Structure formats: C-alpha cells, structure tokens
Amino acid sequence: MTDITVNKPQPFLPQEEMVTYYRGADLPTTLKTLEEGNPVLVTEFYNNGSVLLKELQRHLNKKLPNKTFKEQREYRAAYHKLSNLIVIEIEAHQLAVKKAPSIGWFSKLYPNTPDFLLTFPQVQGLNSAWQWYENGITIPVLRNKIHPYYGVYFPTRFEHLILFDNWVKRYEGPKKNAIDVGFGSGILALQMVKYGFQKVFGTDTNPNAIIGLTEAMGETKLSRKIDLDYGSLFGKWDKPTELIVFNPPWLPETRHSENLDEAIYYNKTLFPAFFEAAKEMLLPGGKLVLIFSNLAQITGLSKTNPIEEELEKGGRFKLEDCYKKSVKRASEKTKRDLHWRTTEEVELWVLTH
C-alpha cells in the first residue's frame, strides 16, 4: 500500500487580486473575466457557485449553437474550460463560504494541506462522492451496502450483477480461489465470497479502488479472503486459477471519448492482451467469465463484439454458455435520448480452454 498514491483533484494556492463573485456582482464583468482565462473566486454563499455555473451555461447557449454532435462537443469543451476557472476556497479543511456542505474528503485526501483552492466543479464532484461514501449504496446482490471511495466507479444499474449472481450461485466447480480482473468497487469479488470462494485475488489500475476496498474490509474476515494488487490485467498474480472473472469496459475508445475513463472505454489492445494472459492463467477445466453488453453495437460505436471476435479468430477458448438479460427502460424523467435502452442487453459469457 505504501507505493500507491491516491488520485485526487490537484489543490492550488490563491493568486493575488482574484476577481470575486458574490450576490449582486456584475455578471457581464464576471463572464468576461472567465473568457479572458482568469479565475473567479466564489465568495459569501456556496450556492453562488451553482448560480454562476447556470449563468455561464445560459451565456454559452446564446453564443454557441448546440444542435449537431460537433456543436455539442464544442459547447461542452467551452463549458469545461470556463467552468474550471470558477474556484472556491477551503480553510482548515472546510469550505470558506456560508451554507456549505461538510465534505470529509478534504481532511481525508489532503491531511497535510488544510488551506487551498479547488475548482467549483471539482468540489461538486467531491461533495456527491462524499454523500455516496458516507451513506453507502444498496446493491441488490449484496447483504451490506458498499461505500465507494472517491474516484472509484460503482454501478447505478444492476442487471449484469443479477446475471452474475444467478450464475455464481449455481456454479459447481472448485471454490479454492478465483481472480477478479479490474475489481472496481469490489462487488463481483464480494459475490464470490458470498457463495463460498475461499480466496479471491483482485487487480485494478485505479489506486483509489485498492485504497477504498482495503479500507472497507479493514481487519474483518473479508480482508483474509480478498487479496488486492495495483496492476493491469493479472498484476502480480501468476498462479493459475479455476475461475477468472472480468467485467471490462463496454464501449470502445473513439477519438470523441473525452476525459477518457478506463472504467467505461476500452482501447484496441485490452481484449487481445487479456485473452492471451488468461490462456496462461486458467487451469485445465477452469472457466473464464466475462460480463459485457451489446451497448456499443446498438449505439453504433462498434460493429463487432470483442468476445465473439476472440471466439471466431483467437483459437484460445471455446464457448460454454452465454446468458443475456434485458436492461430496464430509462426513466421517463431523463433528458437524454436513451431510446436504444429498449434493445440493450447485458451478457454473461462463459468460456473454457
């Protein structure tokens, strides 16, 4: 754990003579300051930051058309650039404005830096993440809530977890050990322990995933059943196992993948490298389980499924089973166009040598 550095927003110190934004401040002057590339400090009330973000959106909507895909990208890029010039001050690990939320990440992530600045969007992200961490999130397939650490992906839909739960419940192979590649918030590993696996070895390339799950397990029995390593694919684990589980990202990386998130997008080398390594790591008679979706195909991001491609051309594995489950319809409240959700299915692929 000593060589792992947590991923967190980079704190910075105030500049001299910063323009401040408060109730009654001149809005055109404030927006001009942002457009000139200079930061604006939110003062007085926490809500002033949200008000300024709304005004910035309104201002950009007037200036930039936001209809075609290209225009939407330009709008998002402009908003991202200017919104991250809106900053707020933290003093003694608390926001230095009135009616502000209490965000425990300030002392947890910056123990030796009590006073600093962050951008307002970063603070909004930290605030949401703190609520999830503090209150926990109920996952239908687990007995206890999970408390996701800052910067760790956690699911907001559960069809794929239910699919895996039904499969692992009926799994009749040996349960001495298994490997969970890219464990994230640890749900698949916890499901395997729930159904009697003696040991689960997990890997992840996100240091916050390691830190978060290690902290969550503490000194409990779980800490003796789940071993973690900060590394890609199989990390330091080199002993073949009877079960390998992988819930990879579901979308291929494109040149439009902004702020690339490894939990959501995969690059061209991920699947070939995984299958090649898995061939060496799977014991004879063992099973390779991949949790995937047809999302890339129905949204037009990809014509092929990388697992089907491996089965057709890889020559390393054969298909034992593939289970599918339809995804629940999008909420009527959502503003995004999610018509494709009616045809989305999550998939559980079981491969053998």
Local mean pLDDT, 10-residue blocks, the chain (353 residues): 82 87 94 95 97 95 79 88 97 97 97 96 97 96 95 92 97 96 96 97 96 94 95 94 94 62 77 96 96 86 89 94 84 48 86 94
CATH for 159-352 is 3.40.50.150
Whole-number Cα distances in Å, 29 to 17, 23, 263: 15, 14, 40
How is residue 48 written in tokens? 């002033």
What amino acid is encoded at 269 in this protein?
T
Bridge partners, residue 202, by sequence: 180, 228
SS3 46: coil
Distance CA 133, CA 101 (A): 14
319, 349 contact by CB (below 8 A): yes
Distance CA 94, CA 104 (A): 9
How is residue 202 written in tokens? 């997990």
Q: What is the pTM of this model?
A: 0.87
Per-residue pLDDT at 334: 43
Per-residue pLDDT at 257: 45
How is residue 18 written in tokens? 């910063």
Distance CA 170, CA 167 (A): 5
Intervals of CATH 3.40.50.150 along the chain: 159-352
27, 55 contact by CB (below 8 A): yes
Per-residue pLDDT at 255: 59
Per-residue pLDDT at 262: 59
How is residue 93 written in tokens? 């690990």
Scanning the structure block, which residue is given the tokens 């322990």? 193
Rg, the chain, Cα only: 23
DSSP for 196-256 reads T-SEEEEEES-HHHHHHHHHHHTTSTHHHHEEEEESSTTTT--S-EEEEEE---SEE--TT
How is residue 223 written in tokens? 């800490």
Residue 275's closest CA among 237, 304, 226, 318?
A: 318
